[in-house]
Amino acid sequence: MKKVYLDHNATTPVHRETIDAMLPFLAADGRFGNPSSLHWAGREAREAVERARQSVAALIGAWPDEIFFTSGGTEGDNMAIKGVLFSSMKKTGKLGHVVTTAIEHPAVLHVCRQMEEQGFGAAYAPVDGQGMADPADVKKAVRPDTVLVSVMYANNETGNILPVSEMARMAHEKGVIFHTDAVQAVGKAPIDVKVIGADILTASGHKFGAPKGIGFQYVRRDVQPEIWPLIAGGGQEKGLRGGTENVPGIIALGKACEIAQREMAAKAGRIKKLRDRLEDSILKNIPETVLNGHKEKRIYNTSNISFKYIEADAILTMLDMKGIAVSTGSACSSGDSEPSHVLTAMGLGPVRSRGALRFSLGHDNTEEDVDYCIEALAPIVERLLAMSPLYKQ
């Protein structure tokens, strides 16, 4: 059976070059040292970690000493939100307030709700029917006790690119730290943290060719003292993230960043053509389909489409039987019977939200993959529509 993977927003295949780069740091006769050790084995590991830090920094226009290695996006979002709120509380003795949006990843939303349970404040700015947040709404939600604004760069379900530069500028005008969850953007889109105006940026390696379990946090130099360490330990990562560094993962992440910087532009154009080929064919040739999200302002690899009057899980299962992997939304929310919180926040009714599939393409996809998906999808939808009690022909 042919296998087609169209779920790259959930995770990506590890690039062959990143595997080759990390293998010497896994081998018993290789460079296995602890980077905190002072002897030759530790120095080898430390030098490699610092080279990787430089590669990461170069990808996003940062200084190497502004890059901190983490386990991934969830830790990074926790580090940003809890780190700023707890640090502010320690300095002022007051429980601060965070502003975010209603369509953030659960790694942000659930942390904010957890902090609310501890007595901190949180506000969730709305989005419009296309899933776009208005900087004016975010600004309106800022209060005198707001210490952090956290808005994602690109939405994981719709691919929408939010106006984070405007929001960062607004936050700074209010004297507030700005964080962006850029997990779905780093490695796919050109990012310069100075242009964005981000104080803190979160990224995850497995979204662009590195292994799972490694990510990084950009923290602007003068903001670093404003972060309470989420993980206390032996003083690694300048005291902001304790624990022995994941050296093989860090080496792989550095290599993935080098590959992204080298190949991003060429891959973007090719993947966008494939995405548009798939999307246009579905919307034109399959009845009762509609695009969710902004048509233009989105990451080039993502298409979220509703198949009205059908449960998306049924389509997903039947595509899976054909060897085609797609998603009904965030991989972190799989198994949740509730409609997508992103589509719900956009005001889409149950008919659209329960029938939504996300197609997210990657550099390994081909025209043959897209055509195979289109050919498999059409009869599946036709069959399910015929069975649907909601559909009237």
From-to residues of CATH 3.90.1150.10 in the chain: 4-11+264-387
Is the per-residue pLDDT at 88 higher than 60? yes
Name residue 343's amino acid.
L
DSSP 384: H
How do residues 97-148 score in pLDDT, each as one tens digit?
999 999 999 999 999 999 999 999 999 999 999 999 999 999 999 999 999 9
d(CA 360, CA 159): 9
Please give the distance of CA 30 from its chain centroid, rounded to a whole number: 33
- DSSP E strand stretches across 237-345: 289-292, 302-307, 324-325
Tell me: pLDDT of 337 over 70: no
Residues 32-84 have pLDDT tens digits of: 999 999 999 999 999 999 999 999 999 999 999 999 999 999 999 999 999 99
Percent of the chain topping pLDDT 90: 93
Check residue 151 and give its pLDDT. 98
Which three-class secondary structure state does DSSP give residue 297?
coil
Greater pLDDT, 342 or 388: 342
Contact of 185 with 161, CB cutoff 8 Å: yes
The whole-angstrom separation of Cα 167 and Cα 136 is: 9
**Pairing state between β 215-219 and 67-70:** antiparallel
- Quick one: pLDDT at residue 332? 53
pLDDT at residue 333 tops 60: no
Q: pLDDT band at 392, cuts 50/70/90? A: confident
CATH of 16-259, one of 3.40.50.970, 3.40.50.10490, 3.40.640.10, 2.40.110.10: 3.40.640.10
**Within its chain, how far is the Cα of 183 from the centroid?**
3
What is the chain's mean pLDDT, rounded?
95
Residue 35's pLDDT is 94
Active-site option among 112, 257, 332, 373: 332
Residues 346-368 have a mean pLDDT of 96
**Residue 65, CB half-sphere, CA atoms under 13 Å: how many?**
6
Instruction: Output the pLDDT for position 165.
Output: 98
Per-residue pLDDT, averaged over 281-309, amounts to: 97
Distance in angstroms (rounded) separating the CA atoms of residues 334 and 250: 28
Distance (Å, whole) CA 131 – CA 329: 14
Give 165-202 pLDDT, tens digit per residue: 999 999 999 999 999 999 999 999 999 999 999 999 99
Of the listed ranges 100-109, 310-319, 381-390, the one predicted with least confidence: 381-390
Residues 6+ apart with CB under 8 A from 318: 380, 384
Predicted local distance difference test score (pLDDT) of residue 29: 82
Interatomic CA distance for residues 84 and 39, integer angstroms = 36
| pTM of structure | 0.95
Q: What single-letter DSSP state applies at residue 390? A: S
Q: Which two tokens stand for residue 54?
A: 């430089």
Residues of the chain with CATH 3.40.640.10: 16-259
Q: Does the annotation count 112 as an active-site position?
A: no
Predicted local confidence at residue 382, as pLDDT: 95
Radius of gyration for the alpha carbons in the chain, expressed in angstroms and rounded: 22
Interatomic CA distance for residues 189 and 261, integer angstroms: 10
The answer to whether domain 4-11+264-387 has CATH 3.90.1150.10 is: yes
pLDDT at 390: 81
Given the DSSP bridges, would you call strands 177-181 and 67-70 parallel, antiparallel or unpaired?
unpaired
pLDDT band at 393 (very low <50, low <70, confident <90, very high): low
Mean pLDDT for 341-369 is: 96
Q: Per this entry, what is the length of the chain? A: 393
Q: Are 332 and 106 in contact (CB under 8 A)?
A: yes
SS3 state at 238: helix
For residue 12, which of 217, 301, 265, 266 has the smallest C-alpha distance?
Answer: 301
User: Cβ(72)–Cβ(198) under 8 Å?
Assistant: no
